[in-house]
Amino acid sequence: MKQASLSKDKIKAVAIRYGFLTLLAGLVLFFSLSAPGFATPFSAVFIFQSVAITGILALGVTATLVVDGFDLSIGSIATSSLMLSAYIMVVLEQNAVVAVIACLAMGAIVGLVNGVLIVYMRVPDLLATLGMMFLLIGLQRIPTEGRSIAQGMTLPGGETATGVFSKSFLALGRHKFDFFIENFIPFSVIIFVVIAVLIWLYFEFTRYGRVMYAIGSNERAAGLAGVPVHKYKIIAYMISGVLASVGGILLAARLGRGDIASGNNLLLDSVAAALIGFAVLGAAKPNAFGTAIGALFVGILLQGMTMMNAPYYTQDFVKGAVLVVALVFTFSLSNRR
């Protein structure tokens, strides 16, 4: 009887560790068999491309989750970055480098403000970033009086904008590199993978990442161990802000114009990816690898279901179901909080 319960525990441990990856493999197999065209290298690359933007945002969500925070403003940071890059190129007639730098700086500054509000003004994280979200949704509309930004648009003053989206900027979202197959890997996928690897290295192998996990687990104890808690919390929000602005840049490069949008769907999708990441390898905590897998999981599901002609509302339903299953994996099966 003891033997039985022992092996039961072992099975449970294996289930927690590999359950979600198995589910993912099963899903891939299912779609490969039932959706023609799913199991091709192009389809694989496309799944990466479709999740690149939410994936990058989700890595930012991971950073704030690690320090036991939360950033609701990432969606609006991304769309603000989308508008800002368009504004800089189309209206101010600057080049791609200026646009990218300005967006990254904007993300960093918004993250800094979020961090300062939370750490020094003691505003609870959800409220501070909620406020920032509304602020940015409004702010991105002010320069154009609520219009979307496109090449040749009519400005509020009546004159026509003469700036253009620079070719090199658009390449961030559209260029494809050769990799065995010509024009195979999109730039945005490379950016996503590079950022995912960097964030993974940061949180798993550097002392900065380690210290941030310590803050998330027991802030007081971390402070008494000499960790500058405030500084690291602010850094977490800055990572989140900068990554969200990178997402916005890629969005602008893909769309080729500045669209007015709240970015709430981006926020929800990326939070879902980060939370699904808890279940990967039984980590039961925010982690970069899990987040990337979580984003891919959602991408594979949506790709497969769209290929099978499932209507959009069933996709939302399935997304929700996956999230719930992942959270059950994390919190119930692994006996964690």
Partner 1 sequence: MGKVNSSIKLTGLEKSFGSNRVLRGIDLDIPAGEVTILMGANGAGKSTLVKVMCGVHKADSGTIYLAGEEFNPQTPAEAIKAGIVTVHQNINDGVVPDLDVASNLMLDVLANPHSSVFLLPSKIRKSAKQAAERLGLDLDMRAPVHSLSLADKQLVAITRAMAHEPNLLILDEPTSSLSLSETQRLFELLDRLKARGVAILYISHRMSDIKRMADRIVSMRDGEVSGVFEGDDLDYIGAVNAMLGRKIADVDIQIPEVGAPVLELENIQLLPSSKPFSLAAHKNEIIVITGLVGVGKSLLASVLFGREALFKGEISLNGQKYNPKNITDAINEGVFLCAKDRGTNGIIPEFNISHNISLPFLSTLSKFGFIGRGAERGFAKTAIKDLGIICQGEDDNIEELSGGNQQKVMVARWLMKSSKLLILDEPFQGVDIAARRDIGNKLRETAKDRATIVFVTELDEALEIADRIFVMSEHGVVGEHRNMNADADLILAQVLGDQVMDKRMNKNIGISEGAAL
Partner 2 sequence: MKITRRIFTSMVAGVVLAATGIIGSVSAADMPAPFDKPSEVKIALVRYLSTGDFFQAYLAGVESQAKILGVDLRILDSRQDAALQADMVDQAIALGVDGIIVQHGLTESMQEAVKRAIAAGIKVVAFDVDVENPDVPQIEQSDFMLAKMALDQAIIDNGTTFNAGYVYVPGIAPLDRRDVAWKEVKDANPGIKQLAEFGTLDNPIANSVANQARSVLAANPTITVMFAPYDEFAKGVKIAVDEAGMTSQVKIYSADVSTSDISAMREEGSAWAATAATNPAVVGEVSVRVLAMLLAGEDPGHNVVVPPTLITQTMLNDGDIKNMKELSAKIPAFAHADVAVPAWMPLPKR
Residue 257 binds partner 2 (CB under 8 A): yes
- Binding-site member from 225, 308, 321, 328 for partner 1 (CB under 8 A): 225
- Binding-site member from 63, 136, 161, 222 for partner 1 (CB under 8 A): 222
Of all helices (H) and strands (E), which one includes residue 177? strand 176-179
- Binding-site member from 95, 160, 218, 314 for partner 2 (CB under 8 A): 160
HSE-CB of 255 using CA atoms within 13 angstroms: 22
Say if CB 166 and CB 96 are below 8 A apart.
yes
Residue 220 binds partner 1 (CB under 8 A): yes
Nearest-10 Cα torsion for 166, 42, 269, 130: -10
**Positive or negative torsion for Cα 192, 198, 200, 203:** negative
Candidates 128, 137, 109; CA nearest to 69 is 128
Residue 140 binds partner 2 (CB under 8 A): no
Q: How far apart are CA 264 and CA 268, in angstroms?
A: 6
Stretch that binds partner 2, among 5-13, 216-224, 260-268, 279-287 (CB under 8 A): 260-268
Candidates 251, 252, 195; CA nearest to 59 is 195
> If contact means CB under 5 to 8 A according to the sort of partner, which of partner 1, partner 2, none does residue 82 touch?
partner 2
**Residue 268: alpha-carbon gap to chain centroid:** 10
> Helix or strand or coil: residue 185?
strand
Residue 235 binds partner 1 (CB under 8 A): no
> If contact means CB under 5 to 8 A according to the sort of partner, which of partner 2, partner 1, none does residue 43 touch?
partner 2
DSSP letters for 256-301: SSB-----HHHHHHHHHHHHHHTTGGG--S--HHHHHHHHHHHHHH
Residue 314 binds partner 2 (CB under 8 A): no
Compare residues 145 and 207 and give the one whose CB is closer to partner 2: 145
- Residues 172-201, mask of contacts with partner 1 (x by CB under 8 A): -----------------------------x
Q: Which whole-number Å values give the CA distances from 122 to 64, 230, 275, in the listed order?
A: 16, 11, 25
Stretch that binds partner 1, among 75-83, 103-111, 154-162, 205-213 (CB under 8 A): 205-213
Residue 134 binds partner 2 (CB under 8 A): no
**Minimal distance, residue 119 CB to partner 1, in Å:** 15
**Minimal distance, residue 67 CB to partner 2, in Å:** 29
> If contact means CB under 5 to 8 A according to the sort of partner, which of partner 1, partner 2, none does residue 46 touch?
partner 2
Stretch that binds partner 2, among 46-54, 119-127, 220-228, 271-279 (CB under 8 A): 46-54
Say if CB 199 and CB 56 are below 8 A apart.
no
Q: How far apart are CA 295 and CA 290, in angstroms?
A: 9
Q: Which residues form the interface with partner 2 (CB under 8 A)?
A: 35-38, 40, 42-43, 46, 49-50, 53, 79, 82, 141, 145-148, 150-154, 160, 174, 183, 186, 251, 254-257, 259-265, 302-304, 306-309, 311-312, 315
Q: Which residues form the interface with partner 1 (CB under 8 A)?
A: 1-2, 5-6, 9, 201, 205-208, 210-211, 213-214, 216-218, 220-228, 285
